[in-house]
Amino acid sequence: MNSNTKTVAISKTCRYCGNVYTKKDGEHVFPYGLGGENLYIDCVCEQCNNYFSGLELELYQKSFLGLMRSTIGVEGYTPNARNRSPFKAPVLLSFDEKNQIVFEIGQQFRMQVFVRPQIFAIGGKYYVEADSMESKQLFADAFVKWKKENGVLTACVEKKIIHVKFTIADGHYSRLSEPVKKDVKKPIQYCTLPEDHHLYDHLSPRLFIDDDEKLKIRARTLVEAEIFLEDLLNDTLFNNQYGSFSGSDLNSPIVHVGFSFDSVKFQQALVKIGLNCLIYYFPQIKENPSLNPYIGYVMHGTHGIKGGMEAKDQLMDSVPETHNIFFSSWEGNVRVRISLFSGQFVFAFWIENLPLLGHNSYHRLLIDYQHRQHTFQDTIAFLKSFPVGSQANEPLSGLAKK
Ligand SMILES: [Zn+2]
């Protein structure tokens, strides 16, 4: 090799936005957060790649797919021993009917719930709950640190950030609302429940700690939260012992406040996954103009694509623990069918005028999301995966890397 030869990055054109880029990083063929392998297509610029992360977040963290992913425990980029695939969007609560207490709960690997470290007041007395002494200590330490460092509660009410500062004078805590100032580091954040939530009336104010070890206060109104915090601060001046309801029945129903995700972004992400897989396995179509409306949809959410949710198809979704992407063709169109989490979720779209596959032929990409392995099958291999007389639900043996 000529020693003067430097590795020169070759300029490429991003298939999604048309800009020229040189960076070598590629875009995931199938998202890692859904159990995909580290398999990339090199036709996406960094800017588009970053934009896709936002779409994917909507799909596999915020939407109901996030719940499926959490249930199964599919890891993302940052493995976390306690929360293997935390479900970020909904508020999880448990209701103790006997004592009429709403608990803040969290979710661990495979949806096992635990009591978040929290303190609330019932009948003028304070109660501290947590799932272990360690997390109680973590909570207490965070609270002491907050008192020392800023003593500020922040809330976003009608798009306005409000700071409430708690200060001690003459052996007594009191609060004063402060004008908006620069960002406060690690304040207590105020949150609430929608008024029409059926547990709203049972919600007593509480201070708790979330997955990111941030202190939060939940109450029905900001004023209620302020009064609670002020009273609690004053109580801590002379009280070191708090009661507990530990042993409360956590088998009581878990309440989901609801999903809050952008359904267009959700669909854009799915179309992008389909396109990425198509381009990866059929590179000859990369420049085909038939893809343009779909790329337009991924980039701008423009309408005009044919597709949407589908009813579950037993035959196609018979391989457990896998995601499937089918490519089938008829009348010169390609149909892309994405089924995630063993067919519990099915999405499809049609790319018109893309005579990609032969008449009556189809291909399947099978992703084993537990083991991050995939296999790509042509029509013959796909048919062979359904031997005559086999049990439809029998796992496919020898799922191998391509
Ligand atoms: Zn781009």
> How far is ligand 1, taken at its centre, from the CA of residue 272, in Å?
13
Which one has a higher pLDDT value, 189 or 394? 189
Residue 393 gets which letter from DSSP?
T
> Per-residue pLDDT for 181 more than 70?
no
Report the pLDDT value the prediction gives residue 202, as an integer from 0 to 100.
Answer: 92
**CA–CA distance, 195 with 203 (Å, rounded to integer):** 11
Residue carrying structure tokens 């875009």: 27
State the average pLDDT over residues 312-318.
64
> Which tens digits make up the pLDDT trace of 370-389?
899 999 998 888 888 776 54
Report the chain's mean pLDDT, rounded to a whole number: 83
> Per-residue pLDDT for 393 more than 50?
no
> How far is ligand 1, taken at its centre, from the CA of residue 24, in Å?
13
HEC secondary structure over 114-167: EECCEEEEECCEEEEECCCHHHHHHHHHHHHHHHHHCCEEEEEECCEEEEEEEE
Report the pLDDT value the prediction gives residue 154, as an integer from 0 to 100.
Answer: 92
> How far is ligand 1, taken at its centre, from the CA of residue 106, in Å?
38
> How far is ligand 1, taken at its centre, from the CA of residue 137, in Å?
47
Report the pLDDT value the prediction gives residue 252, as an integer from 0 to 100.
Answer: 59
pLDDT confidence of 254, banded at 50, 70, 90? low
Instruction: Give yes or no for a contact between 319 and 346, defined as CB atoms under 8 angstroms apart.
Output: no
Lowest mean pLDDT among 32-36, 290-294, 392-396: 392-396
> How far is ligand 1, taken at its centre, from the CA of residue 26, in Å?
11
Cα dihedral: 219, 225, 231, 232 (round 10): 70
Report the pLDDT value the prediction gives residue 133, as an integer from 0 to 100.
Answer: 86
> How far is ligand 1, taken at its centre, from the CA of residue 317, in Å?
33
> How far is ligand 1, taken at its centre, from the CA of residue 17, in Å?
4
Which one has a higher pLDDT value, 205 or 309? 205
**pTM of whole model > 0.75?**
no
Report the pLDDT value the prediction gives residue 8, as an integer from 0 to 100.
Answer: 60
Which one has a higher pLDDT value, 92 or 164? 164
| AA letter at 269 | A
What are 283's two structure tokens? 């590179």
> How far is ligand 1, taken at its centre, from the CA of residue 363, in Å?
28
Instruction: Give yes or no for a contact between 119 and 109, defined as CB atoms under 8 angstroms apart.
Output: no
State the average pLDDT over residues 304-320.
75
pLDDT confidence of 115, banded at 50, 70, 90? confident
User: Percent of the chain, pLDDT > 90?
Assistant: 42
Report the pLDDT value the prediction gives residue 222, as an integer from 0 to 100.
Answer: 94
> How far is ligand 1, taken at its centre, from the CA of residue 374, in Å?
26
> How far is ligand 1, taken at its centre, from the CA of residue 279, in Å?
15
> How far is ligand 1, taken at its centre, from the CA of residue 99, in Å?
56
State the average pLDDT over residues 230-241.
91
Instruction: Give yes or no for a contact between 68 and 343, defined as CB atoms under 8 angstroms apart.
Output: no
Report the pLDDT value the prediction gives residue 43, as an integer from 0 to 100.
Answer: 87
> Per-residue pLDDT for 336 more than 60?
yes
pLDDT confidence of 64, banded at 50, 70, 90? confident
